[in-house]
Amino acid sequence: MKQITFNVYLQFKEEFATYKEIQFIKENNDYFHQFNADQLKSILYPYKPVILVNRFEEDKCRKLIQNNSQLIIILDDRSPTLKNNRVITDDLIAKDTFNNYLIEMSKSLNDDFYTIVQINDMNNFCICYFRNNKYLISSDDSDQIFGNGPLILNKYSGKIYKTGSANPEKDIKEFEKLYFPH
């Protein structure tokens, strides 16, 4: 059986990361471990108050929480997904969920917005293909916004995951393998 894993997040207690929070990130994050404490403190300052540290197996998550009880550690995004209760129960809810997500993504586009082109139902998840509206109206390549791969909606958690635009099929297969292994 595949190991159960979770994303481990750290919520900062204050505006700046404390020494213990910095050490926790340094010890458990594959990218941030290369920096010294002062560098890491300046890197982490502009971050949101919650940062994704890494994805770990369930046993390691338990140990991290036990050994760091003074920190605010949050577990989220269980893999494989528990298939006991669907949050997304029909196509309309899926479409509304994608639309709400695209509205947020569109806020930086000024006079343009993203529009759903197609939604594919894949049993445990949905895939949303989208384009910016200016391009859909004009079909002019100069209006097209590049770099947006399809979105994946997990029907059990209600979470949306971005894929890359270069090879989205590979990202979709990796998502399915991680969250819905056979």
Contact between 149 and 168 under an 8 Å Cβ cutoff? The reply is yes
Task: Count how many domains the chain has.
Answer: 2
Please report, for the domain that includes residue 50, its CATH number.
3.30.1390
- Residue 75 included in any domain: yes
- Residue 85 included in any domain: no
Residues 169 and 100 in one domain: yes
Kindly report the pTM of this predicted structure: 0.74
- Residue 14 included in any domain: yes
Task: Kindly report, residue by residue over 99-153, the tens digit of the pLDDT.
Answer: 999 999 999 888 899 999 999 999 999 999 999 999 999 999 999 888 789 999 9
Residues 108 and 175 in one domain: yes
Task: Kindly report, residue by residue over 154-169, the tens digit of the pLDDT.
Answer: 999 999 999 988 889 9
State the average pLDDT over residues 65-94.
Answer: 91
Distances (CA, A) of 126 to 11, 120, 153, 168: 30, 6, 5, 14
Residues 174 and 95 in one domain: yes
- Residue 86 included in any domain: no
Residues 130 and 155 in one domain: yes
Enclosing domain of residue 17:
5-79
- Residue 18 included in any domain: yes
Is the per-residue pLDDT at 2 higher than 70? no
Please report, for the domain that includes residue 175, its CATH number.
3.10.450
Residues 73 and 128 in one domain: no
- Residue 84 included in any domain: no
Residues 117 and 48 in one domain: no
Coil/strand/helix, residue 92: helix
Residue entry with tokens 């000024």: 110
